[in-house]
Structure 1
């Protein structure tokens, strides 16, 4: 029987992706029958002969069922977590850990597949997942950016973390970068600072553009004019933060506070301030962004903005189960969902020192 189906398949024009309709056509049954067989429903309404015919047709077409195993069947549930990089920054792993924990609480295994932006590796990783029944897939990016999903995933529940698709055909969970930057500036202006510098990442990155926009909004809210001379590009690195801080301290009128778009740049900022014989926050205040694990261990501990990776990981898994169960719609994400980036207040911010000239 399987050989006959395979021979019939060879005479048909191959499509880009097999559908349930294709399986029904090849097996000579209705689409409803295919659904009952592949989703293991329908009970005795479908004969074993028909079930076998449908399964062989699905196998011949390479059709996969993107649903969980039925409750009580003992089948393994899986959730795919595709990410471009999981080693460069330990903060990203917070999303993975939170997703893994919530998936396991729902009796599913999170399958994490780093792809290093390699398209062939990503395709192979997806084929590995295709061999299992999955609740859905999470696509995550190391830095916020526009993403292109493989067309073959149009039938599987997908949610994105820290990335989005043009036109937003798939739900995306993103950090509210601009709002977080505005919060940082507001914290400094509330402390009395008026001359606030900003060390940003490269301008081509979405996070850089958003955080610059939030910085400007924070200044405007406090009635402070934007001054481009107080903005530097530090490319997210410790050395970049160090060199930019040295430039800012060399200005005829240096800033009283520096907001860094990443904690790594803030560490470099700390070093440059201390090399200049200045103190934090006595002479100059510093705020970072990310809440890197090292931030709390600096001296003084760094005030920073938290990127909510754990929350994003949990919300992604919650979304997939809400979509699958068609129950409580409050967990379903639609369009782009921006998650607040709250202030983590520590000891690196104080009032500006009064200058005494002469």
Structure 2
């Protein structure tokens, strides 16, 4: 309010009277207009909470950039809904799809509710710039973060999760471990690659650059890049995939090459997609705990609204645990070899750079 008063050229008391719409006190219309314009320019809003005894429904808002592309993120939404309802709160989910006008309207809609707080969720783990109006709100970021240390956030521990998965392969005796990553522009991909490298460093092992391939978290590149890896003169005995869907593509390529999982090649995925438990053999993976993240976010908002938590006091990075299933075994003494005819055909079809 001091900033608004300075911008409007009025006293802080006048700002308080105008923004709190205090009754029984006369404030000149010109002063009201100055205060409102200054507040709008600074992105200042009064964060209102209705009294506990009021008859309106308590709500928790969830702003999400994309609710359809990643079905796994819906686990966070569903868990948040269940946790909110335990405390008599209704979760209001508003997809905004990167539309700033829609985002402003969604925030205005939430501000008009008997609002406990807001969860701001991102599809990809990323740094973002929070709208000014939300910077002083009871808010927590889910799968995203800002540089402001006062804004609490929860993101998955991608690097440590990948490190644990590769460690499991190293423990099984593998030393040539292929890695099919997601898009290099995505933060989660960079962190998962970091974990892959770190697991090797932990054992004093060098990373062979030819074993690292970029994909896009989907099945097609998983199949294509597995074929490239297995066409190397010294192919991997295990492949770590940056997503379970990539691992499904990896399975398909190995089957086409006449190789078995885990008899010839061990495979680990990432995410714990429902697909992981129904493929044959069931896929070892790394679980991203979306549901628990949703619960923690709502618990934080409820706690802070009740005065039990200070701003920023929340777990920032949540563990992604390794889930052992049936796709990992000790390597054979010899490197896996595709059937001769298939291998010659694959080499002939690959681009020249594939064997680098």
Q: Normalising to structure 1: TM-score of the pair?
A: 0.82
The equivalent of 2:260 in structure 1 is 279
Q: Are positions 1:245 and 2:206 aligned together?
A: no
Q: Are positions 1:350 and 2:329 aligned together?
A: yes
Match of 1:267 among 242, 245, 248: 248
Shift of 1:74: 2.3
Q: Is the 8 A contact 2:5 2:15 kept in 1?
A: no
The equivalent of 1:142 in structure 2 is 123
Q: Distance in 2 between matches of 1:324 and 1:335?
A: 14
* Deviation larger for 208-217 or 336-345: 336-345
The equivalent of 2:16 in structure 1 is 24
Q: Distance in 2 between matches of 1:51 and 1:72?
A: 26
Q: Distance in 1 between matches of 2:283 and 2:129?
A: 36
1:299–1:22: structure 2 CA closer, same or farther, 3 Å change rule?
Answer: farther
Q: Is the 8 A contact 1:66 1:135 kept in 2?
A: no
Match of 1:234 among 192, 215, 238: 215
Q: Normalising to structure 2: TM-score of the pair?
A: 0.82
Over aligned residue pairs, what C-alpha RMSD do you find? 2.9
Structure 2 runs not aligned, ≥5 long: 337-356
Shift of 1:191: 0.9
Q: Distance in 2 between matches of 1:217 and 1:183?
A: 10
Shift of 1:130: 1.8
Match of 2:320 among 341, 345, 351: 341
| Alignment deviations for residues 79-136 of structure 1 (CA, whole Å, 9 cap, x no partner) | 1100111111110001101111111111111110111111111111111112112111
Q: Distance in 1 between matches of 2:315 and 2:127?
A: 12
Shift of 1:287: 0.2
| Alignment deviations for residues 288-347 of structure 1 (CA, whole Å, 9 cap, x no partner) | 000011110101011000011111111111111121112266xx7537710000011111
The equivalent of 1:180 in structure 2 is 161
Match of 1:301 among 282, 290, 306: 282
Q: Distance in 1 between matches of 2:203 and 2:24?
A: 72
How many equivalent pairs are there? 320
The equivalent of 1:162 in structure 2 is 143
